[in-house]
Structure 1
Amino acid sequence: MTSAESAGEPDAPRPPARRRSPGRPDRRAARREQVLDTAARMFFERGYEATTTTEIGAELGLLKGSVYYYISSKEDLLYEIVEQYHRDTRTYFDRIEASDAPPLEKLRELITTETAHTATNLTRSSLFYTEWRSLSPERQRTIVAERARHEQAVLAWITEARAAGAVRADLDPKIATYAIFGMVNSAYRWFRPDGRLTAEEIGREFCELVLSGLEVR
């Protein structure tokens, strides 16, 4: 207690609290997103193991150790980058899975959307597919579980369509599922934004290749 308070004197007037302008982004959140973007780019260019948090901080003009104000460890940086990618895929995957569309229409939309998403998020998709093994076993299990959701859904759609006579009976649904994801997930390796086809056009090309091989003619 201060002497003024003990004497019953009124508190000194406090300056009015600064009010955040409507629509003005939180500066710390914006800076944290900048840290994540920079880390993703550096992990992509140099590799996760070869990049230090000190180098990330220096790239951002932060004093040594200041990067830890925004994230607690280098692994946390990688995990948050991968989780952002996961959250984006969940948005469209959950919508497609919950729709009332026939199985092959769901497959068509997933191939198109996932190919475009992989190709237009090259930095994060590359880290998602190449650096996830640098995470702790517990976090790796989270990644594997999310991938398994996609694979199980596609396997179920192909199996259902085959039972209905829409897919060739001589094809193995599991092999077809692996082939689809092998094709879609490879886009980050070779897609170029300035190439002849857009990401969406490549997704539609993939659809035609897959469905022409699956469907009963």
Structure 2
Amino acid sequence: MSTTGRRVGRPRAQQRADSGLSAREELLTAAAELFTTRGYAATTTRAVADRAGMRQATMYHYVAGKEDLLAELLESTVTPSLALAGKLLADDATAAEDRLWELCRSDVALLCGGPYNLGALYVLPEVRAERFAGFHRVRDELKGAYGTLLAATRAGAALDEGELALRTDLVFGLIEGVILVRRSGPERPVAAFAAATADAALRIVGARPD
């Protein structure tokens, strides 16, 4: 992202004509690129501000620092899937197998569909800090939704509590594990990859979509 010709120095509340993004969105985009290419620890706030086309001092009008950016990026990989999970849980007219498959497919498409592999940020040691409790809470809620849908399938209904928890862990681990597979094969078409992963998830459950 070139910074040539960009105005810097004053807080900006309006979208910029050159990118169509607000200042905060530009910072998030810059942080996503730098955190996933240079590494979180190696990226300074100055580097993020420069990439976004603003001075470092201006950046602090929008975010408190790197941790704010990382927290928001992490939550952006989970909250859309949690919203979809809520709709799928409420859809009693559709078979649980189909709803679980769709959640898996959509979740993988979200994790792999952006220009940067944000899921790779999950393994950062910094993410264990209390500042990221919001991300972990939303992620746990999403995992719980996976478990509820899994239990509602015909195969899941036959499992005892321990086996159900194990299958939920395996399915959720498979979905989040796509971040590693994507690293080794970023050229894979996202739609086909997402559907294949959803198929594999239901095989773990012992079910298949109707």
TM-score tier by shorter-chain length is 0.7 to 0.9
**Partner residue of 1:26 out of 2, 8, 14:** 14
**1:125 aligned residue (98, 119, 126):** 119
Aligned mates of 1:166, 1:68 — CA distance in 2: 49
Equivalent position to 1:208, from 174, 177, 199: 199
> In the alignment, what sits opposite 1:67?
59
| Kept in 2: contact 1:120–1:193 (CA 8 A) | no
CA contact (8 A) 1:132 1:140 kept: no
In the alignment, which residue of structure 2 is the partner of 1:108? 101
Distance 1:106 1:126 in 2: 26
Percent identical pairs in the alignment equals: 23
Match of 1:17 in 2: none
Quote the Cα distance in structure 2 between the aligned partners of 1:216 and 1:79.
35
CA separation of 1:183 and 1:37: change in aligned 2, threshold 3 A? same
Structure 2 distance, partners of 1:89, 1:189, is 19
Provide the rounded CA distance (Å) in 2 between the counterparts of 1:73 and 1:116: 29
Given that 2:77 and 2:111 are in contact with CA atoms closer than 8 Å, whether structure 1 keeps it comes out as no
Which whole-Å CA distance do the structure 2 matches of 1:133 and 1:206 have between them? 28
Q: Is 2:41 aligned against 1:52?
A: no
The amino acid that maps onto 2:133 is R
Q: 1:88 to 1:213 in 2, by over 3 A?
A: closer
Q: Is the Cα contact below 8 Å between 1:167 and 1:214 reproduced in 2?
A: no
Deviations 1:165-213 (A, max 9, x none): 6766489111111111111111122224523xx2221222223223334
1:34 maps to amino acid: E
Number of residue equivalences: 187
Instruction: Determine if contact 1:82/1:124 at 8 Å carries over to the other structure.
Output: yes
Query: What residue ranges of structure 2 are gaps of 5+ in the alignment?
Result: 1-12
State whether residues 167 and 215 of structure 1, in contact with CA within 8 Å, keep that contact through their aligned partners in structure 2: no
Consecutive unaligned residues in structure 1, runs of 5 or more:
1-24
Could you state the TM-score of these two structures normalised by the residue count of structure 1?
Answer: 0.72
Give the greater-gyration-radius structure (CA). Answer: 1
Task: Give the distance between the partners of 1:104 and 1:132, measured in 2 at CA.
Answer: 35
